[in-house]
Amino acid sequence: IIIPNVIYNKEGNKEQILDIFSRMLQMGIIYICGPISQETSILFHSQITHIVQDLNLKEVTIFINSPGGCAYSGIAIVNMIKMCNIKVNTKCIGLAASAASIILASGTGSRESIKRARIMIHQPNGGTGRQDATNVSIVAAELVYLRE
């Protein structure tokens, strides 16, 4: 993947060359694209922490285009959104399915989708298969937790 660079004029007319994603981060824009995973969660935590602690921004916008993925990584992102004490706007720019739809709904500011974007929410999948009653009850309790 080729990531373009942009010239950014800082205060005092000092020019700085940044990759486009670093520039977007300075503007308080985070992208969640592709499957939700532990890596996505860690990257999000790093970016939101940088925005809050280093840049001192009071608002962030998250653009989402994701088919979902790991429910626990999605929950970690939602928890960070709720903990960061700044306004978090979420916007679906393509697809927000499964865990990504929960992230979209968790914004503390505006929650939007662009025309022709798709949002899909479903019940948690237990995947109990042919397990015994004890395992089924454990999975059921975990599904209740995930729904809440």
Active site residues: 98, 122
- 3-state secondary structure labels for all residues of the chain: CCCCEEEEECHHHCEEEEEHHHHHHHCCEEEEECCECHHHHHHHHHHHHHHHHHCCCCEEEEEEEECCECHHHHHHHHHHHHHCCCEEEEEEEEEEECHHHHHHHCCCCCEEECCCCEEECCCCCCCCCCCCHHHHHHHHHHHHHHHC
